[in-house]
Amino acid sequence: MENLNEQDQIKDPDQLDLFAGIFLTPEQEEHVANYILRNRNFIETKERAIAKIESLLIEAGFKKGIDFENDFKRKMVTKTVTLGYTYNNTNFDHEVTFDECAGDVTLKVLRHSKGEITTSKSYVEIEDDKLRCSSITDQYRFYKPKTLLEKFRNYNETQKENCENFNKRKNLKQSVVDKYTQLYPNATVEVKADYSKYGGHYEVIEVKFESGSFVQFRLSDYRNEEFVHKKFDAEVDKMDAIDVLNKFSRQEALK
C-alpha cells in the first residue's frame, strides 16, 4: 500500500460522514480552524466598530433611517473554500461552516446632477471617537461626530441649492432662446460653449444672421436676465480702414 503524507487527504471508502469519507490531516485541520477563527475575529471587530459608529452618530444628532442606515448583518454559512498554500502544493478544497457578514453604516447623501436630486449611500469610517465620510468633506480626515453632522447638513443643503440654481438658469436660458427666436425668425438662435482664461468654461446664447453678423448674450444669475457679451458686424468687418473711419465720422455725437 502506498504511504500517505501529511499533504494528502485520507479516504475511508466504508465510512459515511459529513465529508463523504474524506478525513483531513492535522495540518489541514489547522488550516480549517485558522480560517474559521480569522473570519470570526474579523467580523467581531467589524461588528464592534459598526455599533460604535451608530452610537456616535446618534449621540451627535444623526437620525437613523433618515440621515443614515445600518444594514450590517452577520450569519453562519457553509461553503467550499480553498485553503493551504499554492506555492508548496498544500492547497485543498474543503466545505467549511463559518461566520460571514455584509453591510455597513452609510449616510444618506443628496446628489445633484443636471437638475435632479438623488440619494446615495456614503460609507462612514471610524478612528478612535472620530468619524470620516470623505465624499461630503473637503479633506480626507476624521472629524468629531458633531462636526461631521454640520458638514453633512451643509453638503445636502448645497446640493439642493445647486439643483435649484441649475433649474432657474435652465429656464432662463430657454426663455431667452424663445424670445430672440420669436423676435428674429430669420436668425439662428442657439446655445454655444465658450472659454476664457480667467472665467473658465461658460455658455453664450448666440443670435446669428445670414449675413454672418451676430450678438452673443450671457446670463446674469443676479438679475435673472441676459446681457450682451459680444457683438460682431460682418459688414464693418469687410470694410477697409478708410471706409470704417468714414462711417464713424457720419455718426452722431454722444450727448
- pTM of the full predicted structure? 0.76
Are residues 211 and 86 located together in one domain of the fold? no
38 within a domain of the structure (yes/no): yes
Partners of 223 in beta bridges: none
- Quote the crossing angle between the two packed helices 145-183 and 26-60, to the nearest 10°: 70
Share of the chain above pLDDT 90, in %: 84
Are residues 17 and 91 located together in one domain of the fold? yes
Structural domain that includes position 18: 10-159
Are residues 196 and 80 located together in one domain of the fold? no
- Measured between alpha carbons, how far is 218 from 202 in angstroms, rounded to an integer? 9
Read off the pLDDT band of 7 (50, 70, 90): very low
pLDDT tens digits, residue range 66-100?
999 999 999 999 999 999 998 888 899 999 999 99
Are residues 224 and 116 located together in one domain of the fold? no
The last residue of a domain, from among 115, 144, 159: 159
Kindly state the helix (H) or strand (E) to which residue 172 belongs, with its residue range: helix 145-183
Are residues 24 and 93 located together in one domain of the fold? yes
Are residues 49 and 145 located together in one domain of the fold? yes
CA distances from 246 to 14, 42, 103, 239, 242 (A): 115, 87, 79, 10, 6
Q: How many domains does the chain have?
A: 2
pLDDT of residue 233: 95
Are residues 48 and 129 located together in one domain of the fold? yes
Are residues 102 and 214 located together in one domain of the fold? no
Mean pLDDT of 217-229: 90
Are residues 149 and 94 located together in one domain of the fold? yes
Partners of 133 in beta bridges: none
CA 140 to chain centre: 15
168 within a domain of the structure (yes/no): no
φ/ψ of residue 34, rounded to 5: -65, -35
The answer to whether residue 29 scores a pLDDT higher than 70 is yes
Read off the pLDDT band of 22 (50, 70, 90): low
pLDDT tens digits, residue range 172-193?
999 999 999 999 999 999 999 9
pLDDT of residue 5: 43
Read off the pLDDT band of 221 (50, 70, 90): confident
- Measured between alpha carbons, how far is 195 from 183 in angstroms, rounded to an integer? 28
Are residues 150 and 242 located together in one domain of the fold? no
In this predicted model, which residue has the larger pLDDT, 13 or 30?
A: 30
Are residues 24 and 148 located together in one domain of the fold? yes
Are residues 31 and 135 located together in one domain of the fold? yes
Query: What cell does 203 get?
Result: 455658455
Mean pLDDT of 133-148: 96
Nearest to 130 by CA among 57, 61, 69: 57
Average pLDDT value over all residues in the chain: 91
pLDDT of residue 222: 81
* Residue 125 burial (C-beta neighbours within 10 Å; 0-12, 13-18, 19+): middle
